[in-house]
Structure 1
Amino acid sequence: MKEEFVEEEVEEERDVIVNAAGTTAAATTVVVLKKAISDFFLVRASGSLSLGTNRVFEASGGGLERLVYTYNNVLNGFAARLTEGELKMMEQKPAARPERRLQLQTTHTPDFLGLHPDMGVWKESNFGKGVIVGVLDTGVFPGHPSFGDEGMPPPPAKWKGRCEFNASDCNKKLIGARNFVSGASGQPPLDVEGNGTHTASTATGAFVKNAAVLGNAYGTAAGIAPWAHLPIYKVCSIEDCLEIDLLAGLDSAIEDGVDVISISIGFESVEFFLDSIAIGSFAAVQKGIFVSCAAGNSGPFNSSLPNEAPWILTVGASSMDRSTRAPAKLGNDEEFNGESLFQPKNFPSTLLPLVYAGANGKADSSFCREGAVEGKLVLCDRGGDIGRIAKGIEVKSAGGAAMILMNAETDGFSTLADVHVLPATHISFQDESKIKAYINSSSTPMAAILFKGTVIGSASSSAITSFSSRGPSGASPGILKPDIIAPGWYSALLKSAHPDWSPAAIKSAIMTTADLQNLEGEPIMDEKLEPANLFATGAGHVNSSRAHNPGLVYDIQSNDYILYLCGLGYTDDQVGIISRQTIKCTNETSVSEGGLNYPTFSVKLGTAQTFSRTLTNVGDAHSSYKAQIFAPQGVRVKVEPKILDFTEVNKKSTYSVSFIKIASGYHNTPYAEGFIKWVSPRHFVRSPISVSFE
């Protein structure tokens, strides 16, 4: 058909991701769009896909601006802006799809994790010196004291990134900063939301003396790896986290030479070949880069977590043993502990009239959307699609003197210390009913907020926060997720201490040495103050000292993951999208989920199942480990052999483990838990077991 370009009504354009993996490994397929008299048709052309090549992408009235990104590391593909008509035609390609929007998921933290400047892991790992930790988030405040570079050396010679701030804003700590937010080209990657600065300083913040938040939590602040180098990749604006921008940030981080990637972003559970974080992080892991992702903020509901790929360390959120106490005191002298970071010194502890925002009966009024509350202390329900701080803004604007924020039932005892705009406290759901009962029993209910500052030694240390997303994994139920819980990023220290370890070995060290108890020696609790299950804790709470020297590790190579993907039943093209290779699963020996050399077990038990695992000795050359079995209720667990002997470092030893359902076993829940523990005189290596019964 003769090509003819004509003017017509312009359709609204959308971004689409095109992945050319599974076609050829050597060349990338480029889509060239041309407009015909009455329709669109596609012409496929092969060639090099590099930004700035004029013939990469052609379109009527469009040109290169229709090409949003080309990806050189995370995908054999590109992102392009198409109209709906073009998109319908592109969707016929199995590797082309519209983009998705993603969600954004201290002074005492190092001490809580057992990190001390003069001894132990922190000193032995040289505080993360020489490691480059790339953070993908909302950008950064470059002048923040956590990013000062006093005493730091220049970044390693392999660093290839750049700084899009003024040259003076970057230094030997903040070594790079780029903005990948669509529509913000040429703007510096400044953090206007705050999340990026928070995550970056938690991971790599420098030592800052005399730090505090509004006079609370006073001390020396530091990130987990205070001497690590930090490049920032802004992939989220205050409104959006776009998938194509995240991929561009990942692509750049890999190209720039980072050692660790931290991502506090995610979206709903999808199969891995549709999951951009899974795809991009696989490319990173293939190059030896460790990837740590947040488990998400959709808890406490089961099967609510993103970032489920086994090559990612999926980190759930837990509390510390520190709180900023702000009790609510009622007119009947009852007191209920709450939290707030904003603790004004001049706020009187005298009783104020207490009102419940939902007492007027208006729809959603209990969430403090509106109301006349002049001079009163207002009781607000949490939720209603209004943020915790935003509720305080509403109360203050209506003349309210103070606020008590009450948990919903799903949040239980999990409270948060916020920087409120007015005197406020956040209390548990269990106290909510007592306060409401008091209001209903009194003709003149009164209350006050008492500010008691920072308290160390909270009994709820290491508790799971209510918002932390839970397993089981939807994309791969045979892999137990999350992997670990922690209040900070620890992997950078292990990368510094063990630069030759693979990402899987580092991950194994963190998981198999984790704590199952809090500082008081009690089980780790959930938001209801009940023992948390494995779908909340994963392998447990990170133990920095033991992880540094685990004795044994479960190692996994990139090809093992490819065989695992084949075992999931993915097509060759789908596996190729993730691996960026031409794959023929029929020519490979597929590995089941349970057969992957993972540090944990997630077993769906009908008939008996047997799996094998291989442990690598990274401890004493001559060592012997004996198996201890803590079987889940109703399950018989058999391990062979029961003793593993090692005679040299890096020697491997394989064992098998069988799971047999006991016919007479009592099952009061659909799940049961246990673990296998390999013990030597100096080490233990523990693998949790989660069993679901068919």
Structure 2
Amino acid sequence: MDNWAVKHHINVYKSPKNCSLEHGQLRWRELLFDNLVCISNVGQAASYLDRDFVNYVVLGNEKHFKGPSLSSGEMPEGKFYPLINAVEAKAVNASDNLAPAAIKSAIMTTANTRDSTMHPILDFTNVEATPFDYGAGQVNPNDAIDPGLVYDTTIDDCLNFLCARGYNNTQLKKFSNKPFVCAKSFAIIDLNYPSISIPKLTIDGPVTINRRVKNVGSPGTYVAHVKVPEGIAVSVEPNTLQFNNVGEEKAFKVVFRHIGQGQHQGYVFGTLIWSDGKHFLRSPIAMKLG
């Protein structure tokens, strides 16, 4: 995301308190719960629009939000700004069958982490930014039209996530009209989300996360590529996925091991990319070393 724009034109509001942050700050740590990070996007939809119009967002509980698509001035508190909506609309127009979670995946996994000069994005102090600053990256609408693969988070995924957080049947009924049986082996980190978060990684043992990807493009073979700091070992099983049909979905797991001797402490970051040579499905990784 362009630092000048962040400093001068975009206020980022955190949920659920809807309190504004200082200009130029992106506090992704505010999205932590139980030390689990959900890395998402802050989009620059205004960069691709030439006019202001009203957007509507409807949540699963039928609660409606209304707000302008962009603002050329200050963004006062108490208003809702679905800036990403225009990019989602572009993705929907290109792929009418994509579910909302798949559209979000397409936007996140095709986002850029380099600026227009192909250098790493900097934070508001001009230090190289991390996923805690830019989320999944700067939105790239043209690539989001054709992501190749998507992480299609289902209702069952979300309900199992709530189960893993300790929600009981009474609480689950607020989110689902149907009876739901929690999966016995589901872990919080297994939510089929386009980013990967490891709340604690120690030298005592590996951590395994599970994901699924769905083909929304042409047939192809995707190979996994992982970039992590020194002292972290990662294996993807399987590391090659073959897709023959649209809608075909395949599972994989990623095993993380801390093999260092204390060179890194706190949060470190990496990237998982699935690529067939044409598409590059990029997932940010955040790990807290203990």
- In structure 2, the CA distance between the partners of 1:596 and 1:529, relative to structure 1 (3 Å rule), is same
Aligned mate of 2:268, from 646, 653, 672: 672
Shift of 1:478: 2.7
| Paired letter, 1:611 | I
| Paired letter, 1:502 | A
Aligned mate of 2:187, from 589, 592, 599: 592
Show the counterpart of 2:196. 601
| Paired letter, 2:36 | G
SS at match of 1:484: coil
> Residues 150-203 of structure 1, C-alpha deviation per residue, up to 9 Å, x if partnerless?
xxxxxxxxxxxxxxxxxxxxxxxxxxxxxxxxxxxxxxxxxxxxxxxx99xxxx
Show the counterpart of 2:289. 693
> Residues 395-441 of structure 1, C-alpha deviation per residue, up to 9 Å, x if partnerless?
xxxxxxxxxxxxxxxx6xxxxxxxxxxxxxxxxxxxxxxxxxxxxxx
Show the counterpart of 2:42. 485
User: 2:90 touches 2:141 (CA, 8 Å); kept in 1?
Assistant: no
Higher relative contact order (CA 8 A, sep 6+): 2
- In structure 2, the CA distance between the partners of 1:517 and 1:574, relative to structure 1 (3 Å rule), is same
5+ residue gaps, structure 1:
1-108, 113-197, 200-263, 269-294, 300-410, 412-464
Show the counterpart of 2:77. none
Question: 2:166 and 2:185 mapped to 1: Cα distance?
Answer: 9
Question: 1:297 and 1:537 mapped to 2: Cα distance?
Answer: 17
Shift of 1:582: 5.0
Report the TM-score when normalising by structure 2: 0.75
Question: 1:641 and 1:472 mapped to 2: Cα distance?
Answer: 34
SS at match of 1:518: coil
Report the TM-score when normalising by structure 1: 0.33
| Paired letter, 2:255 | S
Residue 559 (1) aligns with residue 131 (2): no
| Paired letter, 2:267 | Y
Show the counterpart of 1:615. 213
User: 2:228 touches 2:270 (CA, 8 Å); kept in 1?
Assistant: yes
> Residues 244-293 of structure 1, C-alpha deviation per residue, up to 9 Å, x if partnerless?
xxxxxxxxxxxxxxxxxxxx78434xxxxxxxxxxxxxxxxxxxxxxxxx
Shift of 1:497: 2.2
Question: 2:34 and 2:175 mapped to 1: Cα distance?
Answer: 15
Aligned identity (percent) is 33
Shift of 1:663: 3.6
Show the counterpart of 2:245. 648
Aligned residues: 240
Map 1:517-532 to 2 at 5 A: 517-532=114-129
Aligned mate of 1:298, from 21, 24, 28: 21
SS at match of 2:175: helix
Shift of 1:637: 0.8
Map 1:136-535 to 2 at 5 A: 266-268=15-17, 297-298=20-21, 465-466=24-25, 468-471=26-29, 473-475=31-33, 477-481=35-39, 483-488=40-45, 489=84, 490-535=87-132
User: 1:480 touches 1:535 (CA, 8 Å); kept in 2?
Assistant: no
Map 1:538-577 to 2 at 5 A: 538-577=135-174
Question: 2:262 and 2:210 mapped to 1: Cα distance?
Answer: 25
Question: 2:228 and 2:32 mapped to 1: Cα distance?
Answer: 25
User: 1:633 touches 1:673 (CA, 8 Å); kept in 2?
Assistant: no
- In structure 2, the CA distance between the partners of 1:558 and 1:476, relative to structure 1 (3 Å rule), is farther
- In structure 2, the CA distance between the partners of 1:298 and 1:637, relative to structure 1 (3 Å rule), is same
User: 1:511 touches 1:539 (CA, 8 Å); kept in 2?
Assistant: yes
Aligned mate of 1:658, from 246, 255, 258: 255
5+ residue gaps, structure 2:
46-83
